[in-house]
């Protein structure tokens, strides 16, 4: 063991490292200084490149003594950065990962760069990333001179050389503050002396270094301070320092903090916890409270602190804090004429001298509590509910063998295996304990089916002694070999009318067990030969209940422009069926005609998995499925979230994969997803043909996507996702802005979230309009709005193609991309990005006040063809594929 530890430590010591120490300007060039470690070769072959979109520019470099490398980027290359670029290094023919040196982390090198009319941000992530993060703003090189006259609590008074630039009757002056990835707006008011401006509202700014600009006529002018100003001032959250760097005006925001001298946490009765601590210098005459912040939910609670024997103490009602299980942060609030909130600075020993770990019962289950020192040295509280241990170990002969453990963590509770119809939520429950076997052959699965083709999900349910469900979680198959078009066990059952029901045990991409089912009604005739298909019969669709995407657009194009016998399939009870039911060859899902066409169609085209357009399981052995040509029409532009359409996920993958650009084809679908060059076509999406803006729109569309980790009602209502959007549409500053500017936000939640938002959020403000699913097509919604707010949805590309601005809400970006992101955020999220509510509202305010002007980005790396001929190109590619397959058989 000692030898293994020494070996691991030695490997870490010998690993080659390239660390960035700093960057600086010299003769209008930007220079990066790297420290090389453990490159033992005397001669080093270095290749430095600057990648801007698809263009590669070689960079000059210099190897210096003591293993330093200097790389130079000329200013003219920086001026070409429209969205994102990166510095890439190769040493001795090997691509190098770049990391941050301690000097870089501790220094001010992460501030942005003002290059001509661009304000470029830098970050280090394997390479040095240089991003035109604020491309929507026009930065001037000409500076506005200013002096700081005075500072007070949350007030900054400046004299500014403005009279020749602002309208004489304008009293409002907008100050813009930028750091490396965020910006804030501060509105100041001019006094009767035209050049004196008073700014306030610094509490909304975050900690860090901010460069200041003044906005005049939609242009941002850097502020140059004529002389330094050393006096500091405070806001509610921060101490503010005015910095003069080569005359440029910066504000440094430093959080208020206090080092506490003692800390005690004691559990009392009824889940109350007594927290007491002492401050440096002993008691004061000020009043204090303890603030408990739940960052993910946005909930902030305050508890008064009482003075006792030189310490401050309060009781925390833990039952109140257990309403959400998100991590909590603690702050000290000073109540005075100039109130302040302080972050605790904890010494390690303080937590060692008190109890920090507790176990309580909440909602009939044990929850572990842990008070801890956060990375910023402040006090935090982690809450962890009991882990439900469960798994399916074997699947054979339509039987499930599994195990469930940790049931003792649930007080007086019982466990069931629940088999639930995904649509109706009708279910069967089978009691389970320890190691269990559930024979699905003996269960009335037909009785819980909501329709002929459906999915039955499997859950483990924990029910307490009062009959209340306290946990409901999906169960995984430990031996899963996930394929979309395969199954582990297959069973046929007949109902009283002799209809034939097929059941297949399969798994999801997360290895959760489910049962897929389809039925063949007794009157449907199956041809003797289902392997012979008709090249001219094409069956297509989207989701089973939609006709708004590439499927319906391509279907209409084929009917208008070709002799193809094209069919579109959709469920009869879908709201999208009504507008198209009069069209020829529109099929009702599961109808006799649907089966007839499915049995003979040679070409299958879907925007999602072909499961959505076939009345049976798309798998080998089912009605000649292996003889079909499979086309993925796509439902967005790939490059963000890892999707499930990898070639490895299919026994019989798509024959043709439609994309929108060459980078999407090469980097994502070929390199990442495993398809070959001839299997991918950069035609553009069919729906792009209909993206034509006629009338100037006005309102805002709020259209978030889904979170795949939410599986139950309880999870949704307690989720950060629900809270984030609930809080956003009730944000007072945003609602006031909408009123002042006479703008509405039309809220169109993801189809899986519609019912929750509609039923749970009461008394929406009159400026927030809820759009029910199916009341309008997504494409029409995009055309009808001036600004789109989304999070990760690929419909943002459609909006960008219409030359309109998109604002992204990335409050959970790390969790959303926990399995990786296909292309860097700055390459595909074209627009403004807000990471929390206040920042998002600021960006929305900026776009409204800019009359919904679009961000200036280059999009050819995202959408290759910006025309209305995408369907034509798709058709030609499919026809060529058919011809190639015919030729291959000869």
> Whole-number mean pLDDT of the chain?
89
Write out the two tokens for 822: 């296909």
User: What confidence tens digit (pLDDT) does each residue in 95-105 have?
Assistant: 888 998 888 76
At residue 421, the 3 state secondary structure works out as strand
Cα separation values, 19 from 22, 97, 125, 825, Å: 9, 9, 11, 22
Query: pLDDT digit string (tens) for 194-205?
Result: 789 999 989 878
Please, what is the Cα angle at 327 between 321 and 328, to 5 degrees?
60
Between 153 and 708, residue with greater pLDDT: 153
Tens digit of each residue's pLDDT (9 = 90 or more) over 50-96 = 998 778 999 999 999 888 999 999 988 988 887 778 899 999 888 88
What is the arithmetic mean of pLDDT over 420-427? 95
Q: What is the pLDDT of residues 575-626, one digit of tens each?
A: 899 999 999 999 999 999 999 999 999 999 999 999 999 999 999 999 999 9
- Tens-place pLDDT, residues 341-358: 999 999 988 888 899 999
| Confidence category of residue 714, pLDDT binned at 50, 70, 90 | confident
Q: How many helices (H) and strands (E) does the chain have?
A: 18, 57
Question: What is the Rg, in whole angstroms, of the alpha carbon atoms belonging to the chain?
Answer: 31
Residues 631, 652 contacting (CB under 8 angstroms): no
Taking residues 347-372, report their average pLDDT: 92
| Averaged pLDDT, 456-472 | 94
Write out the H or E segment, with its range, that includes residue 520: strand 513-520
Residue 723 has what DSSP assignment?
Answer: H
pLDDT above 90 for 734: yes
User: Measuring CA to CA, which residue among 796, 511, 509, 515 is closest to residue 646?
Assistant: 509
Angle, to 10 degrees, between the axis of helix 837-849 and the axis of helix 732-741? 10
pLDDT of residue 12: 52
Q: Checking DSSP bridges between strand 656-658 and strand 680-681, what pairing results, if any?
A: parallel
Count of other CB atoms within 10 angstroms of residue 257: 15
End-to-end CA distance of the chain, in Å? 64
Residues in CB range of 324: below 8 A, 6 or more apart: 294, 296, 297, 299, 718
Longest dimension (CA), the chain: 95
- Does residue 163 have a pLDDT over 60? no
Residue that has been written with the tokens 């599994």 in this structure: 402
Residues 389 and 401: their CA atoms lie apart, in Å, by 15
Question: What whole-number distance in Å separates Cα of residue 795 and Cα of residue 793?
Answer: 5
Q: Give the chain's domains with CATH numbers.
A: 16-131 (2.60.40), 144-255 (2.60.40), 257-385 (2.60.40.10), 391-498 (2.60.40), 534-689 (3.40.50.11820), 697-849 (3.40.50.12580)
Contact 16, 44 (CB under 8 A): no
How far apart (Å, rounded) are the C-alpha atoms in residues 318 and 671?
50
Q: What is the pLDDT of residue 205?
A: 84
Q: How far apart (Å, rounded) are the C-alpha atoms in residues 551 and 607? A: 6
Q: What's the number of CA atoms in the CB half-sphere (13 Å) around residue 219?
A: 13
- Given this model, what pLDDT does residue 819 score? 64
Run of H or E including 871: helix 870-889
Element holding 715 (H helix, E strand): helix 713-717
Looking at the DSSP bridge assignments, the partners of residue 84 are 131
CB 199 within 8 A of CB 233: no
CA 150 → CA 98, 199, 455, 649, 670, distances in Å? Answer: 44, 11, 68, 65, 60
Residue with the larger pLDDT of the pair 886 and 611: 611
CA–CA dist 389, 574 (Å, integer): 39
Name the pLDDT band for 820 (thresholds 50, 70, 90). low
Q: Whole-angstrom Cα distance, residue 361 to residue 383?
A: 12
Q: What is the pTM of this model?
A: 0.75
Higher-pLDDT residue of 184, 532: 532
Residue 168 pLDDT > 60, yes or no? Answer: no
pLDDT tens digits, 822-865: 566 766 778 888 888 888 998 899 889 888 888 777 677 788 88
Residue 742 predicted with pLDDT over 70: yes
pLDDT at 750 over 90: no
Burial of residue 202 (number of CB atoms within 10 Å: 0-12, 13-18, 19+): buried
* DSSP string over 304-368: E-EEETTEEEEEEEHHHHTTS-S-EEEEEEEESSS-EEEEEE--HHHHHTS--EEEEEETTEEEE
User: Among candidates 281, 274, 338, which has minimal Cα distance to 305?
Assistant: 274
Backbone angles phi, psi at 593, to 5 degrees: -65, -35
pLDDT at 788: 95
Q: Name the helix (H) or strand (E) containing 373.
A: strand 365-373
CA gap 459, 740 in Å, rounded: 49
β-strands 306-308, 219-225 pairing: unpaired
Using pLDDT thresholds of 50, 70 and 90, give the confidence band for residue 7. low
Rounded Cα–Cα distance for residues 687 and 498 (Å): 42
Give CA–CA dist 659/846, Å, rounded.
33
Nearest-angstrom CA–CA distance, 871 and 662 = 17
Yes or no: say if 398 and 391 are a contact pair by the CB < 8 Å rule. no
Give the phi and the psi of residue 131 in degrees, each rounded to 5: -125, 140
Mean pLDDT of 19-30: 87
What's the pLDDT tens digit per position in 106-134? 655 556 778 878 888 888 888 888 888 77
User: Percent of the chain scored above 70 by pLDDT?
Assistant: 94
Question: Residue 394: what pLDDT?
Answer: 97
**Beta partners for residue 477, in sequence order:** 392
Q: Is 634 helix (H, G, I), strand (E, B) or coil?
A: coil
**In the 8-state DSSP scheme, what is residue 54?**
T
| Cα separation values, 186 from 152, 156, 813, Å | 16, 11, 27
Q: How far apart are CA 37 and CA 15, in angstroms?
A: 8
Residue 13 has pLDDT above 70, yes or no: no
Q: 753 pLDDT exceeds 70? A: yes
Please, are residues 807 and 787 in contact by the beta-carbon 8 Å criterion?
yes
Whether the Cβ atoms of residue 151 and residue 157 lie closer than 8 Å to each other: yes
Q: Which span out of 419-428, 724-733, 792-801 was modeled with the highest average pLDDT?
A: 419-428
């Amino acid at each position: 063991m000692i030898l293994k530890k020494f070996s691991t430590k030695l490997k870490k010591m010998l690993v080659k490292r390239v660390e960035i120490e700093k960057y600086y300007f010299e003769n209008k060039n930007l220079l990066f200084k790297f420290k090389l470690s453990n490159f033992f070769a005397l001669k080093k072959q270095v290749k430095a490149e600057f990648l801007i979109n698809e263009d590669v520019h070689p960079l000059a470099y210099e190897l210096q003594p003591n293993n330093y490398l200097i790389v130079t980027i000329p200013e003219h290359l920086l001026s070409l950065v429209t969205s994102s670029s990166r510095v890439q290094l190769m040493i001795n023919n090997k691509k190098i990962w770049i990391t941050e040196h301690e000097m870089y982390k501790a220094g001010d090198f992460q501030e942005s760069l003002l290059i001509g009319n661009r304000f470029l941000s830098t970050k280090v992530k394997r390479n040095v990333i240089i991003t035109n993060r604020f491309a929507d703003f026009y930065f001037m090189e000409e500076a506005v001179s200013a002096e700081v006259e005075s500072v007070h609590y949350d007030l900054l008074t400046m004299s500014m050389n403005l009279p020749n630039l602002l309208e004489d009757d304008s009293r409002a002056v907008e100050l813009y503050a930028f750091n490396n990835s965020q910006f804030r707006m501060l509105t100041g008011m001019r006094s009767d002396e035209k050049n004196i401006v008073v700014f306030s509202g610094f509490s909304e700014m975050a900690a860090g270094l901010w460069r200041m600009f003044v906005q005049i006529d939609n242009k941002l002018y850097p502020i140059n301070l004529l002389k330094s100003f050393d006096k500091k001032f405070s806001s509610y959250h921060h101490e503010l320092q005015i910095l003069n760097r080569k005359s440029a005006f910066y504000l440094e925001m430093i959080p208020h903090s206090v080092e506490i001298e003692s800390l005690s946490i004691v559990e009392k009765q009824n889940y109350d916890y007594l927290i007491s601590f002492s401050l440096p210098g002993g008691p004061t005459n000020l009043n204090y409270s303890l603030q408990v912040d739940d960052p993910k939910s946005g909930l902030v609670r305050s508890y008064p602190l009482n003075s006792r024997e030189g310490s401050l103490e309060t009781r925390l009602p833990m039952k109140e804090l257990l309403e959400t299980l998100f991590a909590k942060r603690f702050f000290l609030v000073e109540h005075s004429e100039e109130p302040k909130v302080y972050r605790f600075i904890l010494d390690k020993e303080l937590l060692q001298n008190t109890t920090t770990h507790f176990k309580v019962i909440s909602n009939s289950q044990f929850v572990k509590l842990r008070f801890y020192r956060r990375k910023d040295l402040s006090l935090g509280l982690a809450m962890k509910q009991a882990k439900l241990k469960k798994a399916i170990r074997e699947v054979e002969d339509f039987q499930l063998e599994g195990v469930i453990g940790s049931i003792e963590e649930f007080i007086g509770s019982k466990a069931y295996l629940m088999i639930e119809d995904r649509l109706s939520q009708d279910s069967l429950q089978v009691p389970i304990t320890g190691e269990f076997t559930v024979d699905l052959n003996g269960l009335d699965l037909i009785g819980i089916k909501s329709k002929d083709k459906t999915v039955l999900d499997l859950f483990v349910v924990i029910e307490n002694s009062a009959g209340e469900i306290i946990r409901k979680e999906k169960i995984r198959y430990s031996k899963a070999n996930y394929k979309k078009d395969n199954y582990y066990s297959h069973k046929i059952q007949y109902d009283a009318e002799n209809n034939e029901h097929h059941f297949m045990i399969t798994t999801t991409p997360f290895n959760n067990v489910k049962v897929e089912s389809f039925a063949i009604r007794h009157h449907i005739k199956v041809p003797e030969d289902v392997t012979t298909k008709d090249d001219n019969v094409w069956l297509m669709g989207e989701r089973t209940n939609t006709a708004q995407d590439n499927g319906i657009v391509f279907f209409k194009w084929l009917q208008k422009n070709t002799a193809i016998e094209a069919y579109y399939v959709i469920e009869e009870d879908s709201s999208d069926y009504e507008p198209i039911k009069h069209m020829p060859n529109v099929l009702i899902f599961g109808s006799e005609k649907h089966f007839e066409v499915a049995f003979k169609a040679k070409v299958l085209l879907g925007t999602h998995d072909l499961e959505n357009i076939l009345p049976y399981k798309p798998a080998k052995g089912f009605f000649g499925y292996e003889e079909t040509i499979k086309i993925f029409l796509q439902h967005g532009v790939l490059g963000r979230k890892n999707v499930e359409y990898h070639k490895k996920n299919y026994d019989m993958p798509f024959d043709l994969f439609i994309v929108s650009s060459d980078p999407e084809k090469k980097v994502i679908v070929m390199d990442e997803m495993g398809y070959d060059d001839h299997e991918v076509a950069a035609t553009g999406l069919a729906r792009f043909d209909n993206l034509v803006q006629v009338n100037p729109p006005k309102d805002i569309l709020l259209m978030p996507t889904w979170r795949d980790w939410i599986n139950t009602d309880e999870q949704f209502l307690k989720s950060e996702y629900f809270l984030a959007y609930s809080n956003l549409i009730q944000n007072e500053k945003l609602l006031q802005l909408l009123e002042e500017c006479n703008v509405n936000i039309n809220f169109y939640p993801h189809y899986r979230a519609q019912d929750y938002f509609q039923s749970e959020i009461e008394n929406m403000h009159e400026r927030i309009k809820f759009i029910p699913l199916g009341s309008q097509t997504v494409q029409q919604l995009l055309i009808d709005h001036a600004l789109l707010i989304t999070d990760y949805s690929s419909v943002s590309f459609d909006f960008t193609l219409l030359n309109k601005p998109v604002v992204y809400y990335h409050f959970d970006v790390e969790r959303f991309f926990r399995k990786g992101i296909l292309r860097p955020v700055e390459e595909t999220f074209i627009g403004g990005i807000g990471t929390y509510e206040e920042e998002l509202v600021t960006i929305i305010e900026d776009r409204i006040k800019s009359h919904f002007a679009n961000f200036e980005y280059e999009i050819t790396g995202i959408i290759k063809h910006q025309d209305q001929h995408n369907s034509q190109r798709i058709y030609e590619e499919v026809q060529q594929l058919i011809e190639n397959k015919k030729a291959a058989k000869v």
